[in-house]
Chain A
C-alpha cells in the first residue's frame, strides 16, 4: 500500500500542501481530484521524489519510500515529456532499462506495448513525427514499460478523445495487476466516477474528502424527488418529511423517518398521475463542489 502521511510543502510563503494524508490501496484505482492549484501535482511530484516535502513522508508497505523502491514506480508527469528526436522503440527500451529491466526484457515489453497501442509499425519513427494523441500513448507506455509496482499518473487522459480514453483505460486494466496501487489525477469528474474505486479530494492543499467513490457519491440517500402533473405544494403539509424545494409539479424532499416515502407515493398517486419518483443520487461533481467550497 502506498501511503501519504502528513505531507506539507511550502513554496516561500505559500503553503501548497497542508498535512495531506491518504492511502492508495493496491488493486484499486484512486482518483485524485481538486481545482487547479489545489496541490495535486505537487503531491505527485513529492511521491516520485522529484520534489522534496517540507514535512511529512511517503510510505510504501509501511516503510519510508526509498529511491530503490521508487525506481520501480511508473510515473506520467503532468507536463508530458519524452525525447522528441528519438525513435519511439529506442525510447521505450531506454526507459525500461533506466528502471532496471535487462535490455532483452525491455525490448520484449516495448514490442508488446507498441503492438497493444497499435503503434508497432511506427516503432522506428521519431517521436515528434507522431500525432499528439499517439505521443500521449507512447507516454503511457513509458510509464508502463517496466511493469511498475505502483502507478502515479498526472492527468493521464487530458487531451484524448473518448475512444482513445477507452483504449487507454482498457490498457491500464490489462497491465495493472491486483497488487498495483494506482493514483491518477483528473479534472474530468465523469471519468473519475466511471473509473475510480476510491477518491481523494484536495482543496487548497488540504484533503477535504476521501473514501470509496460508491460511498461518497451514491451512498444511501434520504433525499427523494417527485414529479407529478399539477402542483406539488401539498407536500409541505405532509408529516415526516422536510421539503427542500417545490417548483410547480416537481419537488425535492428529505425523508425524516423510515418508510414514510411509500406513504408520500400513495398520496401522490391518489391526487393524479406520477411522472417520476425515486431517491435523488448525488453526482460526484456535487460532492466535489460541496467539498471544495
Chain B
C-alpha cells in the first residue's frame, strides 16, 4: 500500500515503462548510440592507432635502439621485428609489413624506408640511436648512464596551462552544450506531449480525482529525469568502452573529474526545464497547441546554447553563471580552463535557487491549468487564474 503515500513514484514508473516500450524512443536512443560510437571510432581509425609502428631489425643492437625509441615516446610507440638479413628487411619494407628498417651502417645505423620515412619516426630513431650509442661509449669511458645524463634534462613549464589544445576544447565545449541541449529539448517535448495526451484523452480527470495534481507533476518530472540521465549514462558508458577499445583512454583522465559536476548541472537544469515543459503541456488542449506553448521553453534552451557555442571567452564566463545557460557552459569551461572552485559552486547555488523557483511556480501553474480543457491558455492568463 506504499503507493498511497507516494503516488508520484507510481506516476514516474508508468512514465518510464511507457517510454521503454515506445519504439520511437528506443529507436532514437539507438541512433544516438551509433553516432557516439562513430564519433569515438572514426578519429581512432583516421589516426591509424592500430598498435605500435613496426620496425624491422636484424641484430640485438637494433632491437635495443627501437626499445629506447619506444621508451622515449612514452610506452609502446614502436615495435622491433627481427628479420634474417638486409634482403629480408628490404622485402618487408617494400611490402609494407613494417614502417621502416633499422640496419647497421658504416658508422652507426641506416634507416631504410620505401619512398619516404615519417619525420617523427626518423627523429625518434635518430635520437634513440644517439642515446644508445653515447651510453655505450660512456660506459667504455667508465661513466654510468646517470652520470652521463646528469644536468641535461629539459622539462616544460607553462605560465597559463590549458588542459586541452584549443581545437579540442572548442569541440568539448560545443559537445557538452549539445548533449544538454538535445536531451533537454527532446525530453522536454516528450513531457509536454505526455501532459497534453492526458488532457486530450481526459484521463487527467480520473488521475486528478485519485491523487493530488502536484504528485502528477512530480512523477512526470522524476520519471523523465531518470530516463534522461540513464540515456546519458548509457551514452557515456558506450563511449567509455569505445575509448578503452581504441586506446584513447588518456582522454578520460581529463574528463573524469568534471563528470560529477556535469551530472549536478545537468540534473538541476533539466528539472527546472522539465517543470516548465510540463506547464507548456498543461496550457495546451491539443497537440497542435504545443508549438506556441513550448516556445518560451525552446527559447530558454536555444539562446544560451548558441551563446555558449559562439560567444567569446569572457561572455562565456558570464554565461556560465546564468542559470540554465550554466548547465550548458560551466561543465565545458571546467574541462577546458582552470576554473577556481568557487565559480561552479556559485553557479550551482544560483541554478538551484532558480530551479526551486521555476518548479514551484510551475507546480502552481500546473495545478491551475491542468483541468482547463476548454481552450489553450497563455502564460500570463494562467498566472492570473485562481485555483479551479
* Chain A positions near chain B (C-beta within 8 angstroms): 45, 48-52, 67, 70-71, 73, 75, 77, 79-86, 90, 94-95, 97-102, 142
Contact = CB atoms under 8 A, between A and B. Distances in A.
Please name the 8 residue pairs, one residue from A and one from B, whose CB atoms are nearest each other, closest first: A81-B202, A81-B203, A48-B209, A100-B4, A79-B202, A77-B205, A81-B201, A75-B209
B77 interface: no
19 contacts: A49-B209, A50-B209, A50-B371, A51-B388, A71-B211, A75-B206, A77-B202, A79-B202, A79-B373, A81-B206, A83-B197, A90-B17, A94-B10, A97-B10, A98-B210, A100-B1, A100-B3, A101-B1, A142-B206
A98 B207 contact: yes
A90 B18 CA distance: 10
A94 B211 CA distance: 12
Given A94-B14, A100-B3, A80 B208 contact: no
A102 B3 CA distance: 8
B164 to A, nearest CB: 46
A81 B1 contact: no
Interface in B1-38: 1, 3-4, 7, 10, 14, 17-18
Contacts of A82: 201, 203, 206
B388 A81 contact: no
Contact of A73 (B197, B202, B209, B388): B209
Contacts of A52: 387-388
Nearest to B17: A90
A243 B212 CA distance: 61
A79 to B, nearest CB: 4
Contacts of B18: 85-86
Nearest to B14: A94
Contacts of A142: 206
B371 A98 contact: no
A201 to B, nearest CB: 25
A50 B213 CA distance: 9
A80 B14 CA distance: 20
Given A84-B197, A98-B10, 4 more contacts: A50-B371, A52-B388, A84-B201, A90-B17
Nearest to A106: B3
A67 B205 contact: no
Nearest to A96: B3
